[in-house]
Amino acid sequence: MNLFLPDESATLEFAGRVFQALPSGCLVFLRGNLGAGKTTFVRGCLRAAGFSGAVKSPTFTLVEEYTLPDRSLFHFDLYRLNDPEELEWMGIRDYFRSDTICFVEWPERGAGLLPEADLEIRLTLEKTARRAEVSAHTEKGRELLAQIAMG
Amino acid sequence: MYVLGIETSCDETGVAIFHSQQGLLSHHLYSQVKTHADYGGVVPELASRDHVKKLIPLISRALSAAGIDKYRVDGIAYTAGPGLIGALLAGAAVARSLAWALGIPSVAVHHMEGHLLAPLLEPDPPEFPFIALLVSGGHTQLVEVEAIGRYKILGESLDDAAGEAFDKTAKMLGLGYPGGPEIGRLADEGLAGRFVFPRPMTDRPGLNFSFSGLKTHTLTTLAATSSTRQDKADIAAAFQEAVVDTLLIKSQRALEETGLVRLVVAGGVSANRRMRKKLHEMGREKGYRIYFPRLEFCGDNGAMIAYAGCQRLLAGHAEPLEIRARPRWPLSDLLPP
């Protein structure tokens, strides 16, 4: 699935659409360079979930947690990670549960230790607009992708 | 009262001895910036291990520089949060255990309280109440400070911290880490006004910040040039001017809205020369007094923790035996000593 997102509100709206389709227990990778809109995408998901507070960049803290009415959302940023082994020190396995949704920015820094993502969203900058490419890597992910594509 | 202060919330190991009457007696800092520079940021586990290695030698040095031995210490203050959990625990465990072994009290200090009290270590310190602008790699906040422990958050960054914006913009321009000093140096060679960056959220009421959008602006501006050194210098100047102006506009607004006349600026970004100059100019023009910590206490350090801890220990604060660290800890949760 490949989508052109002309502005920020389009990114937020698209993120909301993806989020509505996600059941608990999902893992989503967000790829893209600095400024590609990864955290903006997570903000769109949280807005769709009814969360109206600040969605801070997790670069400094590595992970930000959001408690939603029915589940928890974890927003990771592995940008600062040097060695994937550091994920073990963070207790990464404790986050991926059936009652959470996890978004991981810079998953390549955790290669080998992160499980396969259900969905992967790659954001690229096209002038001031963005392009989103969504791919599925699990059976659950393929079902979700079909659902999202149908709108 | 002799207080040993220990700071390990991120990538600096800071140790200091503060005396309640004599003031600051010694302070030592070990910076891991070189270790982390290759990675473009802090590596959390590496940071924790480094703190463990450096703390005891630094404590010994600080004690001997202050001319006392450890049995003269009356209390130990340590940073308990916010910060990286492993790094915080390294300092907390050493501080709490040492206090237990010496039979003296220890007190958990909030890292940002340390920063906002840092200018009180200077001669001619600010009186309460004042507005504090806290700007670092992890935080951007405007706080109304009524007294020690009475803090009201007036505004904060909704996305990237100001220091983080400097780091990421530096990375986009191919500069090193930490980004603040690198951008500041390059901006000096830049042509002011060739590019004009937006001042995010200054056109609407409120005291919150948003620096995330500046990344896109940097990228699109850079893409439209041929990326020469001069192009990058001009972009660095435009970016720095936008961040400094935004911080200035919101600080001035906080002073106007509260009717306060003193502004304390602290945290790593408060070392930025352009910001110091423009804030001092604003103060002279509007009749505000602006306070900065000395340059070496803008970033993380043990002196501010020893000072903040001393104020709390003097009021009788002491922690139970548990070792406490809180990676997320809102400043507004604090109570006066």
| Residue pLDDT, tens place only, B232-244 | 999 999 999 999 9
Q: Rounded to whole angstroms, how far apart are CA atoms B179 and B168?
A: 7
Determine the average pLDDT of the residues in B8-15: 93
Domain count, chain A: 1
Instruction: Read off the amino acid at residue B227.
Output: S
Q: What is the ipTM of this complex?
A: 0.84
Average pLDDT over residues B187-210: 95
pLDDT at residue B303 tops 80: yes
Under the banding of pLDDT at 50, 70 and 90, the label for residue B157 is very high
pLDDT value of residue B94: 97
Question: CB distance B39–A35 less than 8 Å?
Answer: no
Q: What is the pLDDT of residues A11-57, one digit of tens each?
A: 999 999 999 999 999 999 999 999 999 999 999 999 999 999 999 98
* B41 to A128: CB separation less than 8 angstroms, yes or no: no
Reported as type and span, the H/E element at residue A120 is strand A119-126
CA distance B56 to B327: 23
Lowest mean pLDDT among A129-133, B37-41, B149-153: B37-41
Residue B48 banded pLDDT, cuts 50, 70, 90: confident
B257: three-class secondary structure by DSSP: helix
Same domain, B273 and B145: yes
In the numeric block, the tokens 């989508």 are attached to A3
CB atoms within 10 A of CB B145: 22
Q: Residue B316: how many CA atoms within 13 Å on its side-chain side? A: 0
What per-residue confidence (pLDDT) applies to B36?
63
B302–A contact, CB cutoff 8 A: no
Same domain, yes or no, for B135 and B283? yes
Q: Are B248 and B183 part of one and the same domain?
A: yes
Range B191-213 average pLDDT: 94
Find the domain containing A142 and state its range.
2-150
Whether B141 and B17 map to the same domain: the answer is no
Task: Mark whether B224 and B83 lie in a shared domain.
Answer: no
Q: What is the DSSP letter of A107?
A: G
Same domain, B279 and B157: yes
B37 vs B43: CA distance, rounded Å = 10
Q: Which A-chain residues 17-76 have CB contacts (< 8 A) with chain B?
A: 33-35, 37, 39-40, 43, 54-57, 59-62
Tell me whether strands A27-31 and A119-126 are parallel, antiparallel or unpaired.
parallel
Q: Say how many Å lie between the first and final Cα of chain B, rounded.
A: 16
Q: What domain range is B150 assigned to?
A: 127-292
pLDDT at residue B10 above 60?
yes
Of B80 and B46, more confident: B80
Between the CA of residue B203 and those of A8, A9, B159, B198, what are the distances in Å? 18, 19, 18, 10
Residue B122 belongs to a domain: no
What amino acid is encoded at B271 in this protein? A
Q: Do B159 and A56 touch (CB under 8 A)?
A: yes
In this prediction, residue B41 has a pLDDT band, given cuts at 50, 70 and 90, of low
Nearest in space to B12 (alpha carbons), one of B88, B73, B103? B88
For range B244-259, the mean pLDDT? 98
Residue A82: pLDDT band (50, 70, 90) is: confident
CATH number of the domain encompassing residue A59: 3.40.50.300
Q: Does the residue B47 lie in any domain?
A: yes
B50 and B191 share a domain?
Answer: no
pLDDT digits (tens, 9 = 90+) for B113-146: 999 999 999 999 999 999 999 999 889 999 999 9
Is B121 part of any domain? no
pLDDT more than 70, % of chain A: 100
- Total structural domains in chain B? 2
Mean pLDDT, residues B33-43: 64
Q: What's the mean pLDDT in B21-49?
A: 78
Residue A81 confidence (pLDDT): 80
Distance between CA atoms of B233 and B239, rounded to whole angstroms? Answer: 10
Average pLDDT, chain B: 94
All residues at 6 or more sequence positions from A146 whose CB lies less than 8 Å from its CB, including other chains? none
Mean pLDDT of B305-311: 98
What would the two tokens of residue A134 be? 């969504």
Q: Are residues B235 and B317 in the same domain?
A: no
Give a yes or no: residue B54 inside a domain.
yes
pLDDT > 80? residue B33: no
Residue B40 has pLDDT above 60, yes or no: no
Residue of B nearest to A80 (CA): B41
**How close, in Å, is residue A44 to chain B by CA atoms?**
13
Check whether A62 has a pLDDT greater than 60: yes
Per residue in B83-119, pLDDT (tens digit) is 888 899 999 999 999 999 999 999 999 999 999 999 9
Which one, of B250, B208, B167, lies nearest residue A55 by Cα?
B208
Query: Per-residue DSSP letters for B57-117?
Result: HHHHHHHHHHT--GGG--EEEEEEESS-HHHHHHHHHHHHHHHHHHT--EEEEEHHHHHHH
Report which DSSP code applies to A11: H
- Looking at residue B175, its pLDDT comes to 94
Which residues in chain B touch residue A81, judged by CB atoms under 8 angstroms apart?
A: 43-44
Average pLDDT of the residues in B35-45: 63
Same domain flag for B148 and B274:
yes
| Burial track B58-76 (b if 16+ CB lie within 10 A, e otherwise) | bbeebbeebebeeeebbbb
Residue B41 lies in a domain: yes
Q: What is the pLDDT of residues B51-85, one digit of tens each?
A: 988 999 999 999 999 999 999 999 999 999 998 88
Cβ(B269)–Cβ(B248) under 8 Å?
Answer: no
Residues B237 and B189 in one domain: yes
Q: Are residues B56 and B14 in the same domain?
A: yes
The CATH number of whichever domain residue B89 belongs to comes to 3.30.420.40
Same domain as B264, residue B177: yes
Give which of B10, B36, B45, B220 to mutate to test A binding, by max A Cβ within 10 Å.
B45
How large is the average pLDDT for residues B202-218? 93
- Measured CA to CA in angstroms, residue B109 lies from B9, B131, B137, B237 at distances of 11, 20, 19, 36
